[in-house]
Amino acid sequence: MHPHLDGCAECRARFAAFEGWLLGVGETLRGEADEAFPAERLAMQQAQIARRLEALERPARVIAFPKAARAVISGNSHVRRWVTVAAAASLIAGFGLGQVMPLRTVMKNQQAVVPNAHFNAPTTAAIAKDLTATTTPDADELLSDAFASPKVKNLSALDDMTPHARDYHARSK
């Protein structure tokens, strides 16, 4: 005990009260635990420990499972196994080929190409003839169609205000 407590009555009383409280708390906690573990429970626990120690010395029992409980792998015969492997291999090969050669698009392209095969390629002379025929003659006709005045009445005022290409064309002639 601290030497100060011998000379100071007040502190001694406080310390005694504190010590009493602390002892009380310890006692209460011990009581609580003892209540959770009465003598019968401790006896049962002891018996359980003895059983477990005894069990440690005995080797573990191995239970043999019946044959029927084993997983049966289908196809003991070699033929069945080979068939399975071949089917799997062909499936994989087919899938791989499908990835490499997109058959659908090839088929579509073929369908599109077939009608063109009947088309006769024009000769260069014919193309030249066609070109001269289209370019030279009726530029005026085409322009007259293009430069025709609009048929909508509401727009005629606007059309009058707008300079026309046909006028320029006529002037240049």
Q: Could you say whether residue 8 binds other proteins (CB under 8 A)? A: no
Site string for other proteins, 56-85 (x = CB under 8 A): xx----------------------------
- The size of the interface with other proteins (CB under 8 A), counted in residues, is 36
Ranges within 31-50 binding other proteins (CB under 8 A): 31-37, 41-42, 45-46, 48-50
Please, what is the angle between helix 139-146 and helix 165-172, to 10°? 150
Element (H, E) at 46: helix 39-57
CB atoms within 10 A of CB 81: 13
Element (H, E) at 125: helix 124-135
Residue 12 or 169: the one with the smaller Cβ distance to other proteins is: 12
How far apart, in Å, are the Cα atoms of 42 and each of 4, 35, 37, 51?
45, 11, 6, 14
Residue 55 or 106: the one with the smaller Cβ distance to other proteins is: 55
Judged by the rule CB under 8 A, the positions of this chain that interact with other proteins are 1-2, 10, 13-15, 17-18, 20-22, 24-26, 28-37, 41-42, 45-46, 48-50, 52-54, 56-57
